[in-house]
């Protein structure tokens, strides 16, 4: 029966292989995102760029805030790049309003 099952599902082998690869890549990306060494390196790069005059202190603070939000999960639902409209309260995102809320 195993041989028959293997032959019948053989056309789906590429899909199973792709699924396995995607899971490995996602796991690696998540581990790198929360790796303390990488986080520290990113924060030090922000400090070095500010010391070299490449970015302002405000830009450094925004970069540090993005790193910390990524670590704490506070950036979920935020706009990419941390711009306006993606705050924690979601006040300007109409999709996050309650169904019965008045405008």
pLDDT in tens, 33-86: 888 888 899 999 999 999 999 999 999 999 999 988 888 876 455 444 544 444
How far apart, in Å, are the Cα atoms of 64 and each of 32, 43, 98, 103? 17, 6, 31, 34
pTM: 0.47
Looking at per-residue pLDDT, the higher value among 14 and 92 belongs to 14
pLDDT on residue 102: 54
Where do the structural domains in the chain lie, given as residue ranges?
36-72
């Amino acid at each position: 029966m195993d041989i028959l099952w293997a032959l019948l599902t053989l056309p789906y082998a590429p899909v199973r292989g792709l699924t396995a690869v995607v899971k490995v890549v996602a796991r690696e990306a998540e581990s790198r995102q929360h790796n303390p060494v990488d986080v520290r390196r990113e924060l030090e790069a922000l400090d070095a760029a500010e010391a070299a005059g490449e970015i302002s202190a405000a830009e450094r603070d925004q970069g540090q805030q993005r790193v910390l939000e990524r670590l704490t999960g506070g950036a979920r639902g935020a706009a990419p790049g941390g711009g306006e409209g993606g705050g924690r309260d979601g006040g300007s995102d109409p999709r996050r309003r309650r169904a019965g809320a008045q405008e």
